[in-house]
Amino acid sequence: MMSSPRRKLAELPIDARAFDLLSLTMALVLGLHSTHLPWWLSIALALTLGWRWWQRRRQSGRVPRWLKLPLLALLTLAVIVQYGGIFGREPGAALAVGLLILKLLETETVRDVRVGISFACFALMTALLFDQGLIATVVVALGLLPALATLRALEPGQLPTSLPRSLLPALALSTAALPLALLAFLLVPRLSSPLWGAPSPNQARTGLSDSMSPGNFTDLLTDDHPAMRVNFEGAPPPADLRYFRAYVMWNYDGRSWRYVDARHVQARETAAIEVGSSIQYQISLQPTQQRVLPTLDVPLQAPAQARLQPDREVMADKPVNDQLSYQLRSALQYRLQPVLDERSQRLGLRLPTGFNPRTLALAAQWRERYGSDNAAIVQAALNLFHDGGFRYTLAPAPLGRNAVDDFLFDTREGFCEHYSSAFTVLMRAAGIPARVVTGYQGGYWNKYADYLLVRYSDAHAWSEVWLTGRGWVRIDPTGAVRPERISLGAAAAAGDQLAWYRNDWLQGLRNRWDIVNRWWDQGVIGFDALRQRGLLTPFGIRDTDTATLGVLLAISSVLFIAIGLAWALLRRQPRDPLRGALRELERKLARKGIARRPAEGPQHYLSRAARALPGQRGELARLMRSYLELRYAHDEPPTEPLRAFLHAVRDFRIGNVVK
């Protein structure tokens, strides 16, 4: 019975304002997704959107079907060609954005717009699957404004406003909804394991790799996104001790160093350690899609859900797909593996045969010269790097088959990978057990918030050699060439090879801005099931389970609904002091049984009251006269007599009534 007119309402055509706002929403969605869409698709979609907007401004009407269907086919084809399928995060998002823009071509009625806006909200959310940083989230949230404004513009019968002003009510609505949203965010129970397949780890940023060949750090060293942030208990270690170990690599094939997972080979025992001093700290690691957890120097034990490897690296049980925080205690002064077992000895000396003859010769020459003094050989190698005309550069010349030979005797330029690799080969050739360690070194100490920010560009590679009586000793050959690489970090070492945007003051701003990012990453992105369970710890509840969360969510929602209802039901009566005073007088009289009848005017009522209360007759008559005077003789009651009347009413007392 009621449905037919309502169905007609949804079929009503839309006006230009609603269409403009819808186009704005879609442009925003497209802009947000253009960071990962192929550029030609972004441009094509933007042109389609602009053309449709222009076309509808001139003449409203759907785009003909013969144009729509080929475009749809073209879009699907483009996505398949680009991504090789339509399933998955990237192709799915590309298809969604494309369909959204094509939906605009047939948008003419209220229903079309509503479908388009719902879909746009979903597409806005998918943009966050690619980047959930603070700025991206804020921009996406701002994208809700034109979406909500579009929905408002669909309603007929509005007071006219300008286009920018029509966004303001949407902003007000979202702002008012923000407390409830935050509460829901805190209390919506998180899933401890996903309901269906976790997102494919298809991150562009890979972090450290479990193999190292000359040149594969280059991308990493120019990527200054945060890799991890470290909080120390107490003072941070001095700059030259900020080595974060990730992979310990034994295997060298002449070209690259490779980490071998302990699961895949016959297990060795975890290396013993004698600890001099240690430090407690917490690392929050950005997702790497890898299992390795970098640790400051040598950790004493593994954190939860991770295991200590033979060489005291830490591997998580699962790849780190989300931000992860872990607490550790590490040794700063230590003797690692004071006694080298026979197998480690063999591994630490193994070199591929038939490579780098000149290097082997140089090592043999050193061995001859220094005899059994391993420390002297180490020093000789460092001296070679320091005085041999070596140069630190992020763009070294390519190396041939005998990579270490080429590097040591010909090119003499490179960065940490080259130095640590060449040094380790030299050591092994000289008969000193050695291995390559990769990880991070340095970092930026944020003195405003007391934490160490380690970027991908702080990735580093160094060597460890085993010396009798000292165990594994860290030797950083890069430091011999460029000491500031160790004290100031990779950026300073690279000198003028860096882009303009890395200059000092900008870097300072970026470092400060990182505090906000850290807060966002820890407080919002990293708020997982585990953190949620500890939510109520300050209130004495150590483990907040799902049921408790549900109850809390329900209670606080009710609270918010009550606040909202109070606002909705609030009726501000226009303040009328005269009327208020009369009401007060009525109340006083009503207590004595003289209530005003619904249809009784003030004059009649007060005369009746005067008759009923002979003692107050004169006073009531005066009150009545001044009320009538104030009420009816002026548009606005004059101030002074009004005040007198209010006083008179307040002081009015009723004596004993004789009935």
Q: Which of 68, 527, 556, 602 binds another protein (CB under 8 A)?
A: 527
**Shortest Cβ distance from residue 590 to another protein (Å)?**
24
Shortest Å distance, C-beta 17 to another protein:
13
Structure tokens at 514: 């990182």
Task: Report if residue 558 touches another protein, rule: CB under 8 A.
Answer: no
490 to 397, 459, 478: CA distances (angstroms): 19, 8, 11
Please name which of 273, 211, 219 lies closest in space to residue 247, comparing C-alpha atoms.
211
The reply to whether 574 sits near another protein by the rule CB under 8 A is yes
| Contact assessment for residue 48 and residue 107, using Cβ atoms and an 8 Å cutoff | no
- Segment lying near another protein (by CB under 8 A), choices 24-32, 156-164, 612-620, 642-650: 156-164
Does residue 139 belong to the site contacting another protein (CB under 8 A)? no
Q: Is 567 in the site for another protein (CB under 8 A)?
A: yes
Among 66, 81, 155, 651, binds another protein (CB under 8 A): 155
CA distance linking residue 486 with residue 453, whole number of Å: 15
Residues 6+ apart with CB under 8 A from 336: 271, 272, 273, 298, 312, 471, 472
> 317 vs 496, which CB is nearer to another protein?
317
Q: Active site includes 476? A: yes
Considering only 79-87, 183-191, 330-338, 539-547, which stretch makes contact with another protein by CB under 8 A?
183-191
Please say whether the dihedral angle defined by the alpha carbons of residues 637, 639, 643 and 645, taken in this order, is positive or negative: negative
What's the rounded Cα separation, in Å, for the pair 26 and 46?
9
Show the site string, 297-326: x = touches another protein by CB under 8 A, - = not. -------------------------x----
- In angstroms, the CA 305 to CA 326 distance is 10
128 counts as binding another protein under rule CB under 8 A: yes
Cα 452 from Cα 241, distance rounded (Å)? 13
Looking at 62, 103, 114, 617, which residue binds another protein (CB under 8 A)?
A: 114
364 belongs to the binding site for another protein (CB under 8 A): no
Stretch that binds another protein, among 38-46, 145-153, 343-351, 492-500 (CB under 8 A): 145-153
Question: Does 460 participate in catalysis according to the annotation?
Answer: yes
Q: How far is the CB of 543 from another protein (least distance, A)?
A: 20
Crossing angle of the two packed helices 639-651 and 617-632, in degrees rounded to 10: 150
Among 58, 84, 87, 156, binds another protein (CB under 8 A): 156
Of 16, 181, 265, 559, which one interacts with another protein (CB under 8 A)? 181
Active site annotation includes 112: no
How many residues line the site for another protein (CB under 8 A)?
61
Selecting among 416, 418, 458, 521, the annotated active-site residue is 416
Residues 6+ apart with CB under 8 A from 193: none
Q: Identify the CA nearest to 232 among candidates 278, 279, 299.
A: 279
Give the CA distances from residue 132 to residues 138, 139, 379, 610, in Å, rounded to whole numbers and listed in that order: 10, 11, 48, 75
- Which residue of the set 224, 406, 458, 460 is catalytic? 460
Q: What letters, b where the CB count within 10 A reaches 16 and e where it falls short, cover 304-340?
A: eebbbbbbbbbbbeeebbebbbbebbbbeebbbbbeb
> Long-range contact list for 351-355, CB < 8 A, 24+ apart?
351/252, 351/425, 351/428, 351/429, 352/252, 352/253, 352/254, 354/254, 355/254, 355/401, 355/402, 355/403, 355/404
Decide if residue 124 touches another protein (CB under 8 A).
Answer: yes
Q: Nearer to another protein by C-beta: 512 or 531?
A: 531
Instruction: Compare residues 151 and 429 and give the one whose CB is closer to another protein.
Output: 151
Tell me the closest approach of the beta carbon of residue 196 to another protein, in angstroms: 6
Answer for which of 21, 140, 279, 427 binds another protein (CB under 8 A) is 140
Stretch of residues binding another protein (CB under 8 A), selected from 60-68, 99-107, 147-155, 585-593: 147-155
Looking at beta carbons only, is 326 or 355 nearer to another protein? 326
Helix, strand or coil for residue 299?
strand
Span from 150-158, 201-209, 305-313, 398-406 in contact with another protein (CB under 8 A)? 150-158
The verdict on 500 binding another protein (CB under 8 A) reads no
Q: Scan for tokens 């003195």, then name that residue.
A: 447
Catalytic residue selected from 405, 476, 514, 521: 476
Q: Is 77 in the site for another protein (CB under 8 A)?
A: no
What span, in angstroms and rounded, lies between the C-alpha atoms of 652 and 594? 15
Sole binder of another protein in the list 223, 528, 619, 629 (CB under 8 A): 528
Residues facing residue 440 across a β-bridge: 244, 459
Residue among 235, 258, 246 at smallest CA distance from 295: 246
Q: Which of 72, 163, 180, 654 binds another protein (CB under 8 A)?
A: 180
By C-alpha distance, which of 371, 355, 232 is closest to 297? 232
Contact status, residue 543 vs residue 533, Cβ threshold 8 Å = yes
Q: Give the Cβ contact number of residue 542 at 10 Å.
A: 9
Per rule CB under 8 A, is residue 194 in the interface with another protein? Answer: yes
* Residue 629, token pair as written in the block: 């005077």
Q: With respect to another protein, which residue has the nearer C-beta, 55 or 118? A: 118
- Examine residue 154 and tell whether it contacts another protein (CB under 8 A): yes
**Helix or strand (DSSP H, E) at 445:** strand 444-446
- The residue among 126 and 213 lying less far from another protein, judged by its C-beta, is 126
The correct pick among 39, 87, 196, 505 for binding another protein (CB under 8 A) is 196
Query: Does residue 564 bind another protein (CB under 8 A)?
Result: yes
Q: Does 177 bind another protein (CB under 8 A)?
A: yes
- Cβ proximity to another protein: between 152 and 592 the closer is 152
Residue from 16, 51, 61, 190 in contact with another protein (CB under 8 A): 190
C-alpha angle with apex 561: 559 to 564, nearest 5 degrees?
A: 115
Number of H helices, E strands in the chain: 24, 19
**Does 121 engage in binding with another protein (CB under 8 A)?**
yes
Hey, what long-range contacts does 488-493 have (CB within 8 A, 24 or more apart)?
Answer: 488/442, 489/441, 489/442, 489/443, 489/444, 489/458, 490/221, 490/442, 490/457, 490/458, 490/459, 490/460, 491/224, 491/457, 493/392
Closest separation between CB of residue 204 and another protein, Å? 17
Sheet holding 314-316, edge to edge: 292-293, 314-316, 306-308
Q: Which residues are catalytic?
A: 416, 460, 476
List contacts with another protein (CB under 8 A). 1, 5, 10, 114, 118, 121-122, 124-125, 128-129, 132-133, 136-137, 140-141, 144, 148, 151-152, 154-159, 169, 173-174, 176-178, 180-182, 184-185, 188, 190-191, 194-196, 198-199, 322, 524-528, 561, 564-565, 567-569, 571-572, 574
